[in-house]
Structures are given as structure tokens and as C-alpha cells.
Amino acid sequence: MKEIKYINRKTGKLEVEHPPGEGYLKFLYHHPFGQLPLNLVVKRKLLSEFYGRLMKTPRSKKKIRPFIDEFDINMNESLRSVKDFLSFNDFFCRKLKPEARPIQEGLISPADGKIIAFENIDEINSFYVKGRNFTLDEFLQDKELAEKFKKTSLFIIRLAPNDYHRFHFPYGGEVSEPKKIAGKYCSVSPYAVSVQFTKVFCENRREYSILKSKDKGDILIAPVGATMIGSIIETYTPDTEVDKGDEMGYFAFGGSSILMLVNKEFVKIDEDIPHNTKKGFETTIRFGEKIGE
């Protein structure tokens, strides 16, 4: 895999992503000698937690400005200025001004990142042909719930380290308590997912909540951790009514993903997203943008 290419939703143009540590990711997931350090160190909880603690120290503040400059992060959207952050992770989990992400009509993206979508969840096993098949039973570790959601549509939003890392509710309704599933810390970069999709999403640390909406059925929202993700933090109160756009939680330092299952009888995915997915490209997305109606 030479490059990560995606469609810029605003311009419709094909662009190339250069994530932090790109060369290292290529080595780990696409070179035969990369498997040893990948399995012995990178996937382990200890490494991610250790690096996460480093990113919470005052000394890590010196990484903030170079990171902003390298990835051209718009700090005019941030509620706080650079000088106000106490650590790199404090900056990484920053909140944005409400006007920075307008909430659109319909079903919205819960996060910033790059999105793919499958109108039928079974399509994913023909899209990612390598390795074992993806099953909801394995992902959710709940046969009854997997049966309930087996004929749904699937969204996957991938957050790169330079994205805004808080996530929100895509619709209004009553939200359940999250179910947490322990796991490893594989990267969710396309360099990793392209060769072992099921291994990444069914073995990584993850959790899921059920959002019961009044007119769109039940929506399953599943944040998935990855390499260098120290924590998945929920900021909502379980078993309460939430509004579309309310904050659900945030990821600590690193890349991450959100999987979302929706009832295809009630939600029609915006055509550009599955169209780009079938061509093999992710689509840029921002929290608050419409992804279905």
C-alpha cells in the first residue's frame, strides 16, 4: 500500500493523507520484519498507556505548536488558546466553539475524520477480502444483539491523530450505558485495516451504546481505541434523553474510529459516501455534517 487516498467532500477532489508516523505504519503492517515488534510491543496495553501518561505531563506542552504547524490545525475553532493548555493531551482533547461545527438536518456524523459506509453490513466482507470475515457476533460479543442488527447499514468514521477527537450523538433519543470490551491496540490506519480489517475491529479495545430514537429506530454507536489511545472517556449520563449533537465522549491521544449501525429502513445514506466507498476511497467528514436522511 503506497498512499492513503481519499475524497475531499467539499471539493470532490482526490487527495493524499500523510499521517504521523507514516513510514513506521508501513513497516509494521506491510513488511515481514514488522510483525515481530507489532505483536510484541505495539499492540500491548503497556505501550499505549505509557505514552498516554507522557502526553499528560507538563513537559509535553512543547509538542503542541509543532503539531499545529505541521498539520495546519485551525486554532480559531478552539475554545482555548495554545497557552492555556496544560499538556499535549489537554490540547488533543480540546473543545471547539459551537459555531465551528454547525448541526445539519438528518442523521449527522458524530465526529471529524474520514468516513466509509455500507448500505448492507454484509458488503464489508467483499470489500475487505483478506483475513477472516467480519461478524457482528464477534464485534459485539453478544449473539442476541448481533441478530438484531444483522440487516443494518454500517458507517465507519476514522479519526487521525490530527483530527478533533471529541465525538457526539448523531441523532436525538435515549442512550444506554456503554458496554466495554477489553482488547488490543492495533492501528486503525488504512495501512493496518486494509490487511486485517476483522482483526483490528474485533480485537481492539472498544465499547458501544444504543441510542433509542423515536423515528429512526435503534442506533448503535461504537468508539474503537487504537495504538497510543490511552482511554475512551464518556461524558454523557446513561439512560437519559440526549439531543442531536450533544457530546458523547472523547479519545485520549492517538488515532481511533467510530462504528455506527443504523436501521436501513429508516435511514438513507447520502449517495456520495457509499459511492466513494465502492471506489475504494474514504470521504472527509466533519462532526455535524449530514450523512443520511
- State residue 209 phi and psi, 5-degree precision: -130, 155
Residue 139 has a CB neighbour count (10 Å cut-off) of 24
DSSP state of 204: B
Query: 3-state class of 52 per DSSP?
Result: helix
Can you tell me the distance from the alpha carbon of 214 to that of 174, in angstroms, rounded to the nearest whole number? Answer: 9
Can you tell me the distance from the alpha carbon of 215 to that of 174, in angstroms, rounded to the nearest whole number? Answer: 12
Query: 3-state class of 7 per DSSP?
Result: strand
Can you tell me the distance from the alpha carbon of 265 to that of 151, in angstroms, rounded to the nearest whole number? Answer: 10
Report, as residue numbers or ranges, the catalytic residues. 112, 168, 256
Closest CA to 156 of 25, 4, 274, 7: 274
CA 175 to chain centre: 19
Query: 3-state class of 36 per DSSP?
Result: helix
The x, y and z cell numbers of residue 95, run together, are 473543545
- State residue 202 phi and psi, 5-degree precision: -100, -5
Q: Which helix (H) or strand (E) holds 200?
A: helix 190-203
